[in-house]
């Protein structure tokens, strides 16, 4: 940006000499890297001194001048996230009335902020405030801004970065320090913005004072000059009852239990064998254990029987079906993404078969992801090449890679910087630049024996991506390919070795970085997503939004699991096995007096609904019915389908439509439509009354007493025998009924509509 000539003239007239007084901040900033600490600020600069006022006083919020298009003809960057963009609208905008270099006090920018003239936003500060003085002195100095020489924020430090609030009502004052490019460090506590991540646990005021409102853990996000940092807090339960000893099974439990003890929260009991077996069968195989399997497992007295059962289930074909279903949802494999015709069906089936083979062979996950990114060739002959048909632009493809495999939601940064994330528009477009090298051609009938409507994915060495941000300074310029978090772009010279032979192309470098141990995102994002699949929520949640300001629910757990994952060569089965063998996974969903408010620390299991396909398979299994899906063989289960089929039940109960990455799981709370479908649907009624189904088979057997009938229905649905009070209640229904089979059907219907049946508990 070129300096305003009027401003430059005023600068020269006034001179630029200023006295910088250097002082020392005491122990509060010991954690900061070495730098000069200023006791008295030098002459005001726009970025360092004026821009923070715009954010702190609310001038740049969406309801005011941060609104897209501005307000009253005056637009600032949203939440001052890109303060460099705000100089021109202030100094050069408003037909020169906003800044009066001759009489600074008559500047509209100052008069409106102080409420001295009518202002829709009201007075933001008064004439005696430091804000008024800073803005006035800045204007008096010629409203200077030199993009090349003015100091810029290099680092923001919040102290303490981690702290404990010992009881409800306890407070902690945060201190915020900014390190600038000239080496100075300033206390900017009064000019930072604060927001509590979980207001149920802690509140924070405009001055950075945090107050505990109940036990738990959370974070306070601190924003200053477009940079965000977080301070993480813990507030333990106050309880004088001695903490009981609790033993874990592996390193996962050590970290989870240590965190619970720190918060004085006692985990729930372990699951019974019945509870454990039903849960692990549903999670790993997508079906219920049969009564005989349950009886054998409960009768087994071996101390390691749970570990052996986990191993057996992970080696089953049904595990392959479930894992393939999960990956198909993650990658959004659907014929409409490939043409929604016979070619779309072929591409979907081919892609799904490739995934199924990879899961069956337990292909290391880094190789799986690398195979997707480097896929090329015909989309009708090479399954993973269809990855590049789901999204057709480099930026959309980048968003998928970042969200699915790195746990980073980049979509906001396409246009502007997210207020609670680090990624800028430059980060977005520079990262997308790698995928500009993916070429796609074809899509129509061709000669030479090629398949009709065949697409060909290839490496395009000349592919470029142009920065298309809304207001970024590099808008319209070619984006240099840059890894997330890196300062410098990738050198394109690497594509050619000194001997003239071709080196790794840009896409190969991108794929290698994505799955590298040096990449801080890949392993953590993978284990966090796996954890979420089996525990109901991620250690960082949502699982695909792992921004640095979101506190992990268990400190150190993601790092430990990621290290284990990489040390075992990205073995997915090993990671799942470790999770399932933990006491944390095997903890009951029942709550106790200490953990009934816990919804994130894994002191008890969080019940969750089944995936739609699993629920339909389980419904058929429990009722003893079969169902044919489209043209697939009758033995095909819903979770096994390579192609979508029309099913009102599946649409109602939460199968992913594979449109959006952030919507892969069914909603936790049942909907009214789901409830009505179970209670009133002829579809369910037919299954319950089926002549070859569970109820008819039990009632038709004259040797089956009422007690055995009741037990049979409970074992087919809840995978456990009924409790005595349940048996008593059910017997009354059967005894009072005129038609025993109709009464048994009613009992089955009641069990199918129960929360214990629909949820993984």
Q: In sequence order, what DSSP letters do the residues of 551-587 get, joined into one string?
A: PPSSTTHHHHHHHHHHHTTT-HHHHHHHHHHSTTTTB
Residue 496 has pLDDT above 80, yes or no: no
**The token pair that represents 358 in the structure block:** 């990879």
Q: How far is the C-alpha of 676 from the C-alpha of 682, rounded, in Å?
A: 11
Residue 535 contacts residue 578 (beta carbons within 8 Å): no
Q: Calculate mean pLDDT across residues 584-596.
A: 97
Q: How far is the C-alpha of 234 from the C-alpha of 163, rounded, in Å?
A: 7
- From residue 490, alpha-carbon distances to 338, 401, 487, 510 in Å are 32, 18, 10, 9
**The token pair that represents 141 in the structure block:** 């100095």
Cis previous bond, 526, omega within 30:
no
- From residue 673, alpha-carbon distances to 73, 616, 679, 748 in Å are 48, 16, 10, 20
- 86 Cβ partners below 8 Å, 6+ apart? 51, 54, 60, 76, 77, 80
**The token pair that represents 484 in the structure block:** 């997330």
- 43 Cβ partners below 8 Å, 6+ apart? 18, 137, 141
Bridge partners, 156 (sequence order):
178
Confidence of residue 36 (pLDDT cuts 50, 70, 90): very low
Q: How far is the C-alpha of 318 from the C-alpha of 640, rounded, in Å?
A: 9
Task: Convert the pLDDT of each residue in 325-366 to its tens digit.
Answer: 999 999 999 999 998 788 899 999 999 999 999 999 999 999
**The token pair that represents 187 in the structure block:** 């206390």
- From residue 546, alpha-carbon distances to 69, 430, 487, 525 in Å are 30, 20, 20, 8
* Order of all β-strands in the sheet with 184-187: 22-23, 36-38, 184-187, 175-180, 153-159
- From residue 48, alpha-carbon distances to 23, 153, 181, 240 in Å are 18, 7, 10, 49
Residue 16, CA atoms < 13 Å, CB-side half-sphere: 14
- 52 Cβ partners below 8 Å, 6+ apart? 80, 188, 191, 192, 224, 225
Which H or E run includes 621? helix 612-623
Cα maximum dimension of the chain: 108
**The token pair that represents 35 in the structure block:** 């730098």
- From residue 580, alpha-carbon distances to 253, 279, 330, 530, 534 in Å are 11, 10, 21, 11, 8
Q: Give the position of tokens 């746990």.
A: 407
Task: Convert the pLDDT of each residue in 656-678 to its tens digit.
Answer: 888 887 667 766 678 889 999 99
Residue 645 contacts residue 630 (beta carbons within 8 Å): yes
**Average pLDDT over the chain, rounded to an integer:** 89
Confidence of residue 11 (pLDDT cuts 50, 70, 90): very low
Q: Give the position of tokens 């008559």.
A: 106
**The token pair that represents 340 in the structure block:** 């929604």
Question: How confident is the model at residue 449, as a pLDDT?
Answer: 45
**The token pair that represents 710 in the structure block:** 């009741």
Which H or E run includes 478? none
Question: How confident is the model at residue 84, as a pLDDT?
Answer: 87
Task: Convert the pLDDT of each residue in 477-494 to its tens digit.
Answer: 999 999 999 989 998 776
Q: How far is the C-alpha of 622 from the C-alpha of 624, rounded, in Å?
A: 6
- Residue 419 sits at φ, ψ, to 5 deg, of -65, -25
Confidence of residue 32 (pLDDT cuts 50, 70, 90): very low
Q: How far is the C-alpha of 47 from the C-alpha of 437, rounded, in Å?
A: 37
Task: Convert the pLDDT of each residue in 93-111 to its tens digit.
Answer: 777 789 999 999 999 999 9
Which is more confident, 415 or 140?
A: 140
- 693 Cβ partners below 8 Å, 6+ apart? 623, 624, 625, 687
Q: How many angstroms from the chain centroid is the CA of residue 276?
A: 28
Confidence of residue 412 (pLDDT cuts 50, 70, 90): confident
Residue 252 contacts residue 561 (beta carbons within 8 Å): yes
Q: How far is the C-alpha of 327 from the C-alpha of 141, rounded, in Å?
A: 60
Residue 274 has pLDDT above 70, yes or no: yes
Q: How far is the C-alpha of 154 from the C-alpha of 35, rounded, in Å?
A: 11
Question: How confident is the model at residue 169, as a pLDDT?
Answer: 96
Q: Write the burial class of residue 110 (CB in 10 Å: 0-12 exposed, 13-18 middle, 19+ buried).
A: buried
Among residues 275, 234, 161, the alpha carbon closest in space to that of 600 is found at 234
Confidence of residue 63 (pLDDT cuts 50, 70, 90): confident
Question: How confident is the model at residue 67, as a pLDDT?
Answer: 76
Residue 498 has pLDDT above 60, yes or no: no
For the chain, count helices (H), then strands (E).
28, 17
Coil, strand or helix at 503: coil
Both ends of the chain: CA-CA distance in Å? 60
- 207 Cβ partners below 8 Å, 6+ apart? 173, 189, 190
Q: How far is the C-alpha of 414 from the C-alpha of 493, rounded, in Å?
A: 28
Question: How confident is the model at residue 584, as a pLDDT?
Answer: 98
Q: Write the burial class of residue 95 (CB in 10 Å: 0-12 exposed, 13-18 middle, 19+ buried).
A: exposed
Residue 588 has pLDDT above 70, yes or no: yes
Query: CA Rg, the chain, in Å?
Result: 31
pTM here is 0.87
Coil, strand or helix at 691: coil
Residue 51 contacts residue 225 (beta carbons within 8 Å): yes
Question: How confident is the model at residue 572, as a pLDDT?
Answer: 98
Bridge partners, 74 (sequence order):
71
């Amino acid at each position: 940006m070129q300096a305003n000539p009027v401003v430059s003239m005023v600068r020269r007239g006034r001179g630029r000499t200023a006295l910088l007084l250097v002082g020392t901040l005491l122990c509060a900033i010991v954690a900061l890297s070495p730098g000069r600490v200023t006791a008295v600020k030098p002459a005001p600069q726009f970025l360092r001194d004026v821009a923070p006022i715009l954010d702190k006083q609310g001038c740049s919020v969406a309801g005011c001048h941060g609104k897209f298009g501005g307000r009253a003809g005056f637009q600032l960057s949203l939440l001052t996230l890109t303060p460099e963009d705000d100089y021109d609208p202030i100094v050069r905008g408003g037909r020169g009335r906003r800044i009066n270099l001759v009489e600074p006090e008559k500047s509209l920018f100052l008069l409106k902020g102080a409420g001295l003239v009518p202002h829709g936003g009201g007075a933001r500060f008064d004439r005696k405030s430091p804000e008024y003085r800073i803005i006035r002195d800045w204007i008096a100095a010629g409203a200077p801004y030199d993009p090349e020489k003015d100091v810029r924020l290099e680092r923001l430090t919040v102290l303490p970065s981690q702290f404990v609030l010992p009881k409800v009502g306890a407070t902690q004052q945060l201190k915020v320090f900014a390190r600038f490019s000239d080496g100075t460090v300033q206390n900017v506590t009064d000019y930072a913005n604060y927001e509590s991540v979980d207001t149920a646990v802690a509140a924070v005021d405009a001055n950075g004072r945090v107050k505990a409102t109940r036990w738990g853990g959370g974070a306070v996000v601190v924003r200053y000059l477009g940079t965000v940092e977080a301070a993480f807090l813990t507030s333990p339960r106050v309880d004088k009852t001695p903490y009981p000893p609790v033993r874990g099974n592996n390193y996962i439990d050590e970290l989870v239990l240590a965190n619970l003890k720190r918060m004085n929260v006692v985990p729930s009991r372990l699951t019974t064998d019945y509870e454990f077996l039903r849960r692990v069968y549903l999670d790993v195989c997508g079906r219920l254990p049969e009564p005989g399997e349950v009886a054998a497992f409960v009768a087994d007295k071996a101390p390691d029987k749970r570990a052996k059962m986990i191993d057996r289930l992970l080696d089953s074909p049904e595990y392959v079906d479930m894992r393939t279903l999960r990956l198909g949802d993650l990658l959004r494999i659907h014929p409409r993404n490939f043409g929604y015709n016979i070619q779309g069906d072929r591409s979907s089936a081919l892609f799904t078969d490739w995934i199924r083979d990879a899961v069956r062979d337990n292909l290391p996950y880094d190789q799986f992801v690398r195979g997707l990114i480097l896929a090329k060739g015909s989309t009708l002959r090479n399954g993973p090449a269809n990855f590049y048909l789901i999204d057709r632009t480099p930026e959309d493809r980048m968003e998928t890679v970042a969200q699915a495999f790195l746990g980073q939601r980049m979509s906001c940064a396409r246009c502007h910087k997210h207020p609670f994330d680090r990624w800028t528009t430059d980060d977005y477009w520079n990262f997308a630049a790698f995928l500009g090298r993916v070429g796609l051609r074809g899509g129509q009938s061709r000669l030479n024996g090629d398949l009709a409507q065949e697409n060909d994915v290839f490496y395009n060495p000349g592919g470029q991506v142009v920065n298309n941000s809304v207001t970024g300074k590099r808008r319209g310029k070619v984006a240099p390919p840059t890894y997330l978090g890196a300062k410098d772009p990738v050198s394109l010279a690497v594509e050619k070795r000194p001997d003239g032979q071709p080196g790794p192309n840009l896409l190969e470098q991108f794929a290698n970085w994505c799955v590298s141990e040096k990449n801080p995102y890949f392993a953590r994002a993978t284990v966090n997503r796996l954890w979420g699949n089996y525990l109901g929520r991620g250690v960082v949640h949502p699982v695909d939004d792992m921004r640095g300001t979101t506190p992990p629910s268990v400190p150190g757990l993601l790092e430990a699991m990621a290290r284990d994952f990489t040390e075992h060569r990205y073995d997915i089965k090993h990671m799942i096995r470790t999770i399932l063998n933990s006491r944390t996974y095997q903890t009951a969903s029942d709550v106790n007096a200490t953990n009934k408010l816990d919804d994130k620390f894994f002191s008890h299991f969080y019940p969750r609904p089944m995936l739609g396909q699993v629920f339909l398979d389980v419904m058929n299994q429990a009722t003893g019915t079969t169902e044919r899906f489209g043209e697939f063989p009758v033995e095909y289960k819903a979770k096994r389908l390579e192609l979508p089929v029309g099913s009102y039940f599946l649409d109602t109960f939460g199968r992913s439509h594979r449109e959006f990455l952030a919507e892969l799981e069914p909603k936790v709370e049942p909907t009214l439509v789901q409830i009505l479908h179970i209670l009133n649907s002829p579809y369910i009624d037919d299954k319950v009354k089926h002549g070859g189904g569970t109820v008819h088979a039990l009632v038709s057997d004259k040797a089956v007493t009422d007690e055995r009938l009741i037990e049979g229905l409970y074992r087919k649905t809840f995978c456990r025998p009924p409790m005595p009070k349940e048996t008593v209640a059910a017997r009354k229904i059967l005894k009072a009924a005129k038609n025993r089979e109709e009464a048994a059907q009613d009992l089955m219907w009641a069990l199918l509509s129960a929360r214990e049946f629909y949820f993984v508990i």
